[in-house]
Amino acid sequence: MKIIIKTITFILFFLSIGVVQEGRAVQTSPTVLIVKKVPLTVGNKTTEVFRIEQPDGTWGFQGIQGKDFNTIVKNETNVPTVIHWHGLIVPNDADGVPYMTQPPILPGGEYPYHFTLNQSGTYWMHSHYGLQTEQYLSAPFIIHDPTERDSNIKEVVMFIADYSHKSPEAILKELKQGMKMSNTDSKMKMSPKPDLNDVQYDALLTNYKTLKNPDVIKVKPGQTVRFRLINGASGTNVFVNTGKLKGEVIATDGQPIHPFPGTKFPLAVAQRLDVLVKIPDKEGAYPILAQGEGTRLQTGVILATPGASIPSLSEQAKTAEGALNYDQELQYKAVNPLPVKKPEQTLLASLDGNMKNYVWMINNQVWPTITPLEVEPFKRVELVFKNTTGMSHPMHLHGHTFEVTEIDGHTLQNGPMRDTVLVMPHSTVKIQFDSNNPGNWPLHCHLAYHQAAGMMTFINYKGIQIPQLKSVE
Ligand SMILES: [Cu+2]
């Protein structure tokens, strides 16, 4: 009986999220994603934040590799927006970047996106307009590999965000005025001492919740849980701690790696990790926590067997978390690295800052007054990030998956495949990708306030027209 119920659930799952019928794809009308505003209470204060959901209220999107993503995004808010599919290899015109690949979706307006889900893994979607990711205009985007789905494995999405009672515009204004925003070293971001945070947040959230009222996920003794960890924060790199449970990383930014064991894993802004944990063969409750580097703020979920008593957890850890480092990154091994090939073209992205006016730059240029980095189509391209600043920068390239090939002079053999790499202060990281997706593709720091303060450029394929750039307020 159990098996029959499981099989039915399995079939219903595929029918509900996809278009599978008798093993064949059928033509369907587009699905809908709605961008709306919802109230959020943190502490004793209620504010409005964004939410991306399907008409039935399902948060974000889950699809199947090989199927079509045919969706209309409807903007039910009072501000313009644009949705970017983070980490997905899409045609350039579906990339969701305002004034580069499409006009903004105006209040009450809608915009169609249609592409094939060629990848599988853990991705996310977020606004590429202004500072909206700071207010949860973001959601999980999970693509299942139909050959891999095991109904015995419990899947848990943990979408981490940072939250401030202040509006993002007010925070940016204060940063630009050089006001004291840091809870570490507020004097000078260019100081030789690495600076971990330039914004002090009020809370870290997982799936919109603080640790006062976290998601409690029912699990069975002995069950395997696959965490899909997404750092959707605007400015907080975290360590994820699996506590008493041994963890095993199986993917970085959606790309499989050879299983890497541990209990504490760095997760920079915009990155994802897939981590397996196994519940012991007895009753119990297991908090899985993420703590922001340089802060005591923590967030997470609790895995609990039916009879377990649920612990109450503090939103503040006892001590501040330290800085992320390269320890794991140097050891992760991609299952599907790039084919071995010598780089045919090398690009430099110097990560620069001028803290007098809170300006962040790539190659000393401030978005949108930039000269794009030009690539020849169909070449192996090496991109060198040289961080001249005292802060780390999670650097994201659109439209491509790249291999991390060198960190501070250490060559990585089959380094992790990613779409976002953390470049530590005063450090050099090399990546490689194949220029096989023509278009104009943003390359930027994913810290929202760094991006807003200029740290963005784009990669232009030779022969593709350069768009008329415009910054959004
Ligand atoms: Cu940055």
**Is residue 336 included in any domain, yes or no?**
no
Spacing, Cα 396 to ligand 1 middle (Å): 10
Spacing, Cα 14 to ligand 1 middle (Å): 39
Q: Considering 287, 304, 321, which residue would you say is the last residue of a domain?
A: 304
Q: Which pLDDT belongs to residue 177?
A: 84
Spacing, Cα 176 to ligand 1 middle (Å): 15
Spacing, Cα 387 to ligand 1 middle (Å): 10
Angle at CA of residue 31, ends 26 and 35, nearest 5° = 165
Same domain, 434 and 361: yes
Spacing, Cα 137 to ligand 1 middle (Å): 20
Spacing, Cα 97 to ligand 1 middle (Å): 19
Instruction: Please say if the pLDDT value at position 184 is more than 60.
Output: no
Spacing, Cα 394 to ligand 1 middle (Å): 6
Q: Show the domain range for 76.
A: 26-144
Residue 430, domain CATH: 2.60.40.420
State the DSSP code for 93.
Answer: G
Spacing, Cα 395 to ligand 1 middle (Å): 7
Q: Which pLDDT belongs to residue 77?
A: 97
Number of domains in the chain: 3
**Is residue 419 included in any domain, yes or no?**
yes
Spacing, Cα 445 to ligand 1 middle (Å): 5
Q: If we measure between CA atoms, which residue out of 399, 396, 249 comes closest to residue 334? A: 249
| Encoded tokens for 387 | 């961080």
Length of the chain (residues):
473
DSSP character string of 19-44: -EETTEE---PPEEEEEEEEEEEETT
**Is residue 412 included in any domain, yes or no?**
yes
Local confidence band at 240 (pLDDT 50, 70, 90 cut-offs): very high
Spacing, Cα 422 to ligand 1 middle (Å): 9
Q: Which pLDDT belongs to residue 15?
A: 43
Spacing, Cα 21 to ligand 1 middle (Å): 46
Spacing, Cα 399 to ligand 1 middle (Å): 20
| pLDDT tens digits, one per residue of 29-67 | 899 999 999 999 999 999 999 999 999 999 999 999 999
Instruction: Please say if the pLDDT value at position 383 is more than 70.
Output: yes
This prediction has a pTM of 0.91
> Which range among 20-29, 233-242, 389-398 shows the weakest confidence by mean pLDDT?
20-29
pLDDT over 90, % of the chain:
84
**Is residue 70 included in any domain, yes or no?**
yes
Q: Which pLDDT belongs to residue 176?
A: 87
Please, what is the average pLDDT of the chain? 91
Same domain, 398 and 445: yes
Same domain, 366 and 414: yes
Instruction: Please say if the pLDDT value at position 190 is more than 60.
Output: no
Instruction: Please say if the pLDDT value at position 23 is more than 50.
Output: no
Q: Which pLDDT belongs to residue 473?
A: 55
pLDDT over 70, % of the chain:
90
Spacing, Cα 420 to ligand 1 middle (Å): 12
Spacing, Cα 269 to ligand 1 middle (Å): 10
Spacing, Cα 282 to ligand 1 middle (Å): 44
91-97 long-range contacts, CB within 8 A, separation 24+: 91/115, 91/437, 91/439, 92/399, 92/437, 92/438, 92/439, 92/440, 92/441, 92/464, 93/439, 95/398, 95/399, 95/439, 95/441, 95/442, 96/128, 97/128, 97/398, 97/442
Same domain, 226 and 363: no
- Do 277 and 289 meet the contact criterion of CB atoms below 8 Å apart? no
Same domain, 291 and 375: no
Instruction: Please say if the pLDDT value at position 188 is more than 50.
Output: no
Tell me how far apart the alpha carbons of residues 161 and 293 are, in angstroms, rounded to a whole number. Answer: 13
Same domain, 45 and 83: yes
Q: Which pLDDT belongs to residue 195?
A: 78
Q: Which pLDDT belongs to residue 152?
A: 84
Q: Which pLDDT belongs to residue 198?
A: 87
Spacing, Cα 319 to ligand 1 middle (Å): 25
| pLDDT tens digits, one per residue of 210-225 | 999 999 999 999 999 9
**Is residue 57 included in any domain, yes or no?**
yes
**345-354 and 380-387 beta bridge pairing:** parallel
Spacing, Cα 386 to ligand 1 middle (Å): 12
Residue 350: Cβ within 10 Å count: 16
Q: Considering 78, 109, 144, which residue would you say is the last residue of a domain?
A: 144
| pLDDT tens digits, one per residue of 119-164 | 999 999 999 999 999 999 999 999 999 988 777 899 999 999 999 9
Q: Which pLDDT belongs to residue 27?
A: 56
Q: Which pLDDT belongs to residue 183?
A: 39
Spacing, Cα 153 to ligand 1 middle (Å): 36
Same domain, 279 and 232: yes
Instruction: Please say if the pLDDT value at position 449 is more than 60.
Output: yes
Spacing, Cα 389 to ligand 1 middle (Å): 9
Spacing, Cα 436 to ligand 1 middle (Å): 27
**Is residue 149 included in any domain, yes or no?**
no
Same domain, 135 and 31: yes
Instruction: Please say if the pLDDT value at position 402 is more than 50.
Output: yes
Spacing, Cα 328 to ligand 1 middle (Å): 21
Spacing, Cα 453 to ligand 1 middle (Å): 9
Provide mean pLDDT across the span 180-198. 51
Same domain, 159 and 293: yes
Spacing, Cα 392 to ligand 1 middle (Å): 6
Spacing, Cα 448 to ligand 1 middle (Å): 8
Spacing, Cα 119 to ligand 1 middle (Å): 27
Same domain, 159 and 283: yes
User: Which one has a higher pLDDT value, 307 or 205?
Assistant: 205
Q: Considering 304, 328, 356, which residue would you say is the last residue of a domain?
A: 304
Q: If we measure between CA atoms, which residue out of 367, 424, 358 comes closest to residue 391? A: 424
Same domain, 372 and 406: yes
Spacing, Cα 79 to ligand 1 middle (Å): 25
Same domain, 115 and 256: no
**Is residue 11 included in any domain, yes or no?**
no
Q: Which pLDDT belongs to residue 179?
A: 40
**Is residue 60 included in any domain, yes or no?**
yes
